[in-house]
Structure 1
Amino acid sequence: MKTIIWTITLICICSASTFSQQLRVNESQRYLETNQGKPFLWIGDTAWELFHKLNREEAVEYLENRAAKGFSVIQAVVLAENDGLRTPNSYGDVPLIDLDPAQPNEAYFKHVDFIVNKAEELGLVIGMLPTWGDKIESANPGAGPEVFTIENAAIFGAFLGERYKNKPVVWILGGDRNVLNKQVYQIWNSMAGGLKKGDGGNHLMTFHPRGGSHSAYFFHNAEWLDFNMYQSGHGSKYINVYDYANYLMLLHPQKPFVDGEPAYEDIAIKFWKHMDFSKYSEKRVPTGVLDTDGLIENRSHFKDGFFSDYDIRVHAYWNFLSGACGYTYGNNAIWQMQKKGGEIAIPCLYDWRESMDRPGAFDMMHLREIMEERFYNLVPDQSFVYGITPKGENYIAAAGSTDKSFAMIYLAKGQPVKVVMNKLKGNVQASWFNPRNGELQQIGNFSSEGIKTFTPSSSGENNDWLLLLETK
């Protein structure tokens, strides 16, 4: 394990100068690449409160941890969700003077600069959200306040674009909110225009919507939307993420897509059912649910349970084998950078530092290992699987390479699978990839004829397997 982590860290650091050259959409319109033509695998982490909550020493600790695990994108918000306009950062600075987007506070942005520069040094791209969506009118108000107009959105966008025009950044508008009305639509368009004016069009741009939605519904034909993003959300296990992918692949013009917010590791399933958001911090749950550090002590209060590393893997592999060019991991404590004794947005099982090494984060390292040299050549192809594939927990996701040299089939519950072998040509070497530990076990060599049944060594929940078929 240590050798693998060291290798990925070295790759990330050596790649920093490449990422500084910016990203673009590949001519196939299926994935992202550097402007030198190297396919870019989006393995993201959700760190919404990074600029707002962590000091510089903590930010370095976090970013180094993520680089070591093979993450490539860090998604963070400039004007953060948790009262990000009025509650200052670790150095006592708020982002705007007099809550005015046309008057950014230089002291605050020097801290953002530090984090962006450190990310660049480590070979990480910042998926930068200019603002959380509660700073604009929406159907889901938050801490706010709502400060954006069509005019100042353009000014703020131009400020950010100019400041980070030569940095490894991808712009992500939206901030967990859908477009409420024409005025809001124009504000986002105005901000996008400002960003392009400031950075000269150097960076890719997308839109992060509310849970259960996707950017294409609002902006697919917008000139500034380079790739689509959807939020599959936190509502249930075995979310049909492939339905988003199937829909987006049929749109014209075709654009790459990413699941930018799937279910977070360690977050309570349907957490909103068990909380009172009219109250603040620890008062959002009854007395006795949290311990003296503000962490969850009584798990039974959250009657639907919690998402685990297994859920992270299921949604990740289903996404990639359904055509996504990227996947963003999330952990409930890390998105809010929860500290013991600190204010609480959604109650956590662990604090942010403990959560950096949760099992799901290591699973992303294994995901990168198997996908990095293959993802850009993958095309969804359910016809590899013989018979009807039900949706839900027994769904089997299959994809093949564009040159017919390999195929991948993901079994969320380790169920036997019948494979149509003549989809590949020549002799086929079959292997099991274990998404839980990254081990690759050879099964044997087979002819590309007829139908072959493959059965993993274990089955049931938390016993997922990836079948890798390669022609020799």
Structure 2
Amino acid sequence: MSRLRGLLLVAPALLCLGTARGDEPHRFPTGVSADGRHLTADDGEPFFYLGDTAWELFHRCDREEAERYLADRAGKGFTVIQAVALAEVDGHSVPNAQGHLPLVDLDPARPAVADGPGNDYWDHVDFIVDRANALGLTIGLLPTWGRYWHDPVKDGKPLFDAANAEKYGEWIGARYGAKGVIWILGGDRNVEDDGQKAIIDAMARGIKKGDGGKRLMTFHPRGGQGSSKWFHGADWLSFNMRQNGHNADYTGAYENTRPDFDLSPPKPVIDGEPLYEAHPIAFHAERNGHSVAADVRRPFYWDVFSGACGHTYGHHSVWQMWKPGRDPINNPLLPWTDALDDPGAGQMRHGRRLIESRPMATRVPDDSIIVVDRVKTAVPGAGRYRFVATRDRDGSYAMVYAPIGRAFSVRVQDAVKAKKVRAWWFDPRNGHAEAIGEFANERERRFVPPAPGEALDWVLVLDDASKDYPPPGRVPPAR
């Protein structure tokens, strides 16, 4: 077996490929591929879901703040912004930044609307959704946070029952169904009985009446769960959403994405809430500290290479739009306006560009191309250092995510169906691609990342040389 190390074969070809493209057309997800594996946009082409959690966007941000946030996320290559209409942090009873409440007498069947523009809570939501769409961003719109259908809120009961959930769903579906939105039901709660399930089904039914069934719909559960547990067979569920949660380990958390990919009938899957940047890891800061960019990069590749149709990023300060003078939740480290520039957010686009630089429609997960080491916990590994792989179903390329600079071997002939293979190292930290070289295909080949022994992650990209694909991360010009 050959021992291949990029810096020793050829002069490195370093290419900075992670910058956002200003010529991107505005594309909104409206469908699911025929094989049930990925989302498609209104142009019929695959859509990569790169989300950010801005749960309190409608509630806590004024218009200037909302514009600042949306412009930043559009510039960093995000495609979906997840925000909540009836927000978690007392959005039912504390007015928004414009001084308005969303409901009359806490009744979901009576949204508080007033004549004229800019006069009510929903006018503010309109402004933010429209501004996001103008920037090419889809709003992952949660009609409500889960507490309002799950927990006692008013007179010892939730705000929602099946009847008002359907009415509210029809109203909000009609108001926003013609815009660039995805519906996300649930809101960090699990279904625990038939009554709660009836509320969710009723809200979905109402939304479909309101928007004519035009928009995609999913369900956001609590940590460690996925929508498939309750709704995989529901006709309204377009794709599954997981919350793999605020953990830093593949084992016991992100390994759960692949089983959802393997379900029948197939539906796309997305991790709608992984570990946030600067979040107490596993909610135990005193033991684990707070996450850093490396901790949020790994879940991107674990999820996407395990079959997810994209990924969601989050920052612990940004989701709650925390700033001094506002009660902090779980100790955010810095104001949200400063947190926008924490490195993990900018690094998400490198992963998106990597996936988009190769055919997306035929990509499947396949860890079997990684040769298991004598010590299995080293390769493919476990915990924070689990290797994962994805490949083209037609055999034109494969990718292996190495979360650490540890040598590993690949079954190249199983990964790429070509006589000659072109190899690259891709740096998830900066989007650089480094050419390794070309070689005749063979059964197995060993690779050593450019920084061996270090806690630095890399992606090995193997291409059918005859395809002449661009360097990894360099996306072909927009159609």
TM-score where L is the length of structure 2: 0.87
Give 1:180 shift. 1.6
2:408 aligned partner, one-letter code: V
On the 8 A contact 1:421/1:447 being kept in 2, the answer is no
Q: Which of 118, 128, 131 lines up with 2:144 in the alignment?
A: 131
Question: For 2:412, which of 417, 421, 424 is the aligned residue?
Answer: 421
Alignment map for 1:18-417 (pairs within 5 Å): 18-19=27-28, 22-106=29-113, 107-138=120-151, 146-271=158-283, 302-374=286-358, 375-387=360-372, 388=376, 389-417=380-408
Checking the alignment, whether the CA contact within 8 Å between 2:18 and 2:432 is kept in structure 1 is no
Question: Comparing 241-250 with 123-132, which one deviates more in the overlay?
Answer: 241-250
Q: Deviation of residue 239 (structure 1)?
A: 4.8
| 1:202 alignment partner, SS class | coil
The aligned residue for residue 435 of structure 2 is: 442
Partner secondary structure for residue 306 of structure 1: coil
Q: After superposition, give the CA deviation of every residue in 1:179-209 in whole Å (9 maximum; x if it has no partner).
A: 0211100000000000000000010000000
1:73 corresponds to which letter in structure 2? V
Q: Which amino acid aligns with 1:53?
A: R
Q: Does residue 433 of structure 1 match 2:417?
A: no
Percent identity, please: 44
CA distance in 1, matches of 2:427, 2:447: 14
Higher mean displacement: 394-403 or 121-130: 394-403
Q: Which amino acid aligns with 2:139?
A: I
Taking structure 1 as reference, are residues 461 and 239 closer, same or farther at Cα in structure 2, changes over 3 Å only? Answer: farther
Whether the 8 Å contact between 2:17 and 2:433 is mirrored in structure 1 is no
Q: Deviations over 1:265-285 (max 9, x none)?
A: 0011132x5xxxxxxxxxxxx
* Partner SS, residue 8 of structure 1: coil
Helix, strand or coil for the counterpart of 2:431?
A: coil
Q: Secondary structure at the match of 2:91?
A: coil
Residue 9 and residue 76 in structure 1: after superposition, are their counterparts in 2 closer, same or farther (change >3 A)? farther
Tell me, yes or no, if the aligned pair for 1:237 and 1:307 is still in contact at 8 Å. no
Distance 1:165-1:397 versus aligned 2 partners, 3 A rule: same
- One-letter code aligned to 2:334: Y
Contact 2:79/2:136 (8 A) holds in 1: yes
Alpha-carbon contact 1:240-1:391 (below 8 Å) kept: no
Contact 1:325/1:376 (<8 A) preserved: no
- 8 Å CA contact 2:177–2:210 kept in 1: the answer is yes
Determine if contact 2:20/2:76 at 8 Å carries over to the other structure: no
Mean Cα displacement is larger for which, 374-383 or 55-64?
374-383
CA distance change for structure 1 residues 465 and 383 in 2, over 3 Å: closer, same or farther?
same
1:383 CA drift (Å): 2.2
Structure 1: 5+ residue stretches without partners: 274-300
Q: In the TM superposition, what is the alpha-carbon distance from 1:311 to its structure 2 partner?
A: 1.1
Which residue type is aligned with residue 107 of structure 2?
Answer: D
Contact (CA 8 Å) 1:213, 1:232: kept in 2 or not? Answer: yes
Checking the alignment, whether the CA contact within 8 Å between 2:150 and 2:189 is kept in structure 1 is no
Alpha-carbon contact 2:248-2:295 (below 8 Å) kept: no
**Would the alpha carbon gap of residues 398 and 5 (structure 1) be closer, same or farther in structure 2, given more than 3 Å must change?**
closer
Shift in alpha-carbon separation, 1:345–1:393, aligned structure 2, 3 A: closer
What is the DSSP-based 3-state SS (H/G/I as helix, E as strand, rest coil) of the residue aligned with 1:217? helix
Which region of structure 1 is more displaced relative to structure 2, 461-470 or 368-377? 368-377
What is the CA distance between 1:412 and its match in structure 2? 0.7
Q: What is the rounded CA distance, in whole Å, between the counterparts of 2:343 and 2:404 in structure 1?
A: 18
How has the CA–CA distance of structure 1 residues 460 and 403 changed in structure 2, closer, same or farther, with 3 Å as cutoff?
same
Give secondary structure in 1 for the equivalent of 2:205: helix
Q: Equivalents in 2 of 1:406, 1:336: separation in Å? A: 40
Shift of the 334–167 alpha-carbon distance from structure 1 to 2, 3 Å rule, reads same
From the superposition, tell whether residues 5 and 246 of structure 1 become closer, same or farther in structure 2 (CA, over 3 Å): closer
Give me the CA root mean square deviation. Answer: 1.9
Query: C-alpha deviations, 1:102-132, integer Å up to 9, x for none?
Result: 1111210000000000011000000000000
Q: Which amino acid aligns with 1:468?
A: V
Which segments of 5 or more consecutive residues in structure 2 lack a partner in the other structure? 1-15, 114-119, 466-479
Deviation at 1:339, TM superposition (A): 1.3
Distance 2:452 2:325 in 1: 41
CA–CA distance in structure 2, aligned partners of residues 378 and 309 of structure 1 = 26
The secondary structure found in structure 1 opposite 2:388 is strand
CA distance in 2, matches of 1:125, 1:459: 40
C-alpha contact 2:248 2:384 (8 A) present in aligned 1:
no
Aligned counterparts of 2:122 and 2:329: Cα–Cα separation in 1: 24
- Superposition deviation, residue 458 in structure 1: 1.3
* CA–CA distance in structure 1, aligned partners of residues 233 and 185 of structure 2: 15
Deviation at 1:462, TM superposition (A): 4.0
Matched residue pairs, number? 434
Alignment partner of 2:381: what SS?
A: coil
Structure 1 residue 34: deviation in Å? 1.2
**d(CA) in 2 for partners of 1:264 and 1:174?**
19
Distance 2:324 2:345 in 1: 21
